[in-house]
Amino acid sequence: MTQARQSAATAVVVVNLGTPEAPTAPAVRRYLAEFLSDRRVVSLPPLLWQPLLRGVILPLRAPKVAPKYASVWLDGGSPLAVYTRQLAAAMQQELPDLQVLDAMRYGEPSLARLLQRLRDEGLQRVLVLPLYPQYSTTTTASVGDVVARADGLALRMVDEYHLDDGWVAAVAQSVRDHRAANGAGEHLLFSFHGLPQRVADAGDPYPRQCEASARAIAAALGLPDDAWTLAYQSRFGRERWLEPATDTTLEALAARGIRTVDVIAPGFAADCLETLEEVSIMLAEQFAERGGTLRYIPCLNDSPAHARALAAVARRALDQWA
Ligand SMILES: C=CC1=C(C)c2cc3[nH]c(cc4nc(cc5[nH]c(cc1n2)c(C)c5CCC(=O)O)C(CCC(=O)O)=C4C)c(C)c3C=C
Ligand SMILES: [Fe+2]
Ligand SMILES: [Fe+2]
């Protein structure tokens, strides 16, 4: 496959979750209403879930979460949107013969509408790259639903890249850079977004892939087993989620007398509410109350190493398609 044949008639669409348009309760409510109505995310019967969602959860959660968004909001908008846009632009530099575009599964810029537009423009091939290194039915498969509904386009999707050599190397290098600048913390905590245990029990490969990613990154760094831990953050609702939880893991590390912990969140391609507010503000405050220092290592965002790694993932998928 030559680069000439992968012409601008081919597009690469990087897709992230979606995020509110503004850090206000009405905007957060609109966002959560769409996101939490996806049966890939919450699988309860709609006749049960929709009244609960609209009558209880959205009215309580939107005003509670809006100020959290406000605390991390950037000039260009929500961090997730800003970094995803910038990452697509950085990947465009790496893939000058292709069109690189960014979209969101929920809200704007809408993936479903972007695919319609690309069909109307007569694009030959569209590669969809969900910005989830680890596959989950709750995230990746939901992007797959939109891809499956789009017709009149030759479409393919990258399912996961959790052990991609370039990606693992980029994450490992970001840890080395952070430690070179700040001194090595005593412990490295890998914090991944959680999932209901029920979803994992039903066969979702996500936790296995998180473990494999963490192990590969730790190996690339030459870390012994007792120098790192994997945990899951961002629990939502009352049922049991994947364990161990990030907050209790930090408590346990503090109890062991560990004073400086570096935290990295390699399940997130771009910094967002869950990394900036939950980890780098709230969990850092809680750890400080126990006498420790939590040093948050940012996501790869629009770094050149990230753009190069994901461009290579896309290029390989297109070559295999040819
Ligand atoms: C049942 C609820 C949820 C599941 C399952 C879930 C899985 C999941 N989520 C991400 C990535 C992100 N989630 C983000 C925010 C977020 N997630 C949930 C709930 C579930 N996530 C909620 C309700 C929210 C919104 C914030 C809140 O109200 O607490 C984000 C950040 C979005 C942003 O705007 O910054 C990301 C990214 C993954 C990878 C995942 C499963 C593996
Ligand atoms: Fe989530
Ligand atoms: Fe959260």
Q: What is the pLDDT of residue 294?
A: 98
Q: What is the pLDDT of residue 272?
A: 98
Q: What is the pLDDT of residue 124?
A: 87
- For 235-301, what is the HEC assignment? CCCCCCECCCEHHHHHHHHHHCCCCEEEEECCCCCCCCHHHHHHHHHHHHHHHHHCCCEEEEECCCC
**pLDDT, tens digit (0-9, with 9 covering 90-100), for 258-289:** 999 999 999 999 999 999 999 999 999 999 99
How many angstroms is it from 166 CA to the middle of ligand 2? 25
**10-161+303-321 carries CATH number 3.20.20.140:** no
Domains 10-161+303-321 and 165-297 share a fold: yes
Q: Read off the tokens for 214.
A: 């963490």
Q: Read off the tokens for 153.
A: 């386009």
40, 142 Cβ separation under 8 angstroms: yes
* 195 Cβ inside 6 Å of ligand 1: yes
**pLDDT, tens digit (0-9, with 9 covering 90-100), for 95-117:** 999 999 999 999 999 999 999 99
The pTM of this model reads: 0.96
What pLDDT band is residue 292 in, cutting at 50, 70 and 90?
very high
Q: What is the pLDDT of residue 3?
A: 46
Q: What is the CATH number of domain 165-297?
A: 3.40.50.1400
Closest CA to 105 of 164, 45, 41: 41
Ligand of minimum distance to the alpha carbon of 65? 1
Q: In the chain, what are the helix, strand and coil shares in percent, each to the nearest 5?
A: 50, 15, 35
Phi-psi region of 107 (alpha: psi -120 to 50; beta: other; left: phi over 0): left
> Which residues are part of a known binding site for Fe(2+)?
193, 274
229, 157 Cβ separation under 8 angstroms: no
Give the nearest ligand 1 atom to 132 CA: 39
Parse the chain into domains and list their residue ranges.
10-161+303-321, 165-297
* 65 Cβ inside 6 Å of ligand 1: yes
Which residue's CA is the nearest one to ligand 1's atom 34? 19
Q: What is the pLDDT of residue 7?
A: 52
Q: What is the pLDDT of residue 8?
A: 66
Query: Chain-wide mean pLDDT for the chain?
Result: 96
Q: Does residue 322 surpass a pLDDT of 90? A: no
**pLDDT, tens digit (0-9, with 9 covering 90-100), for 9-24:** 999 999 999 999 999 9
Mutate to test the pocket of ligand 1, among 78, 85, 102, 193 (most ligand atoms within 8 A of CB): 193
- The mean per-residue pLDDT over the stretch 177-185 comes to 96
Q: What is the ipTM of this complex?
A: 0.98
**pLDDT, tens digit (0-9, with 9 covering 90-100), for 112-144:** 999 999 999 999 899 999 999 999 999 999 999
User: In the block, which residue shows the tokens 């296995």?
Assistant: 208
69, 273 Cβ separation under 8 angstroms: yes
Q: Does residue 30 surpass a pLDDT of 60? A: yes
Can the peptide bond before residue 244 be classed as cis, meaning omega within 30 degrees of 0? Answer: yes
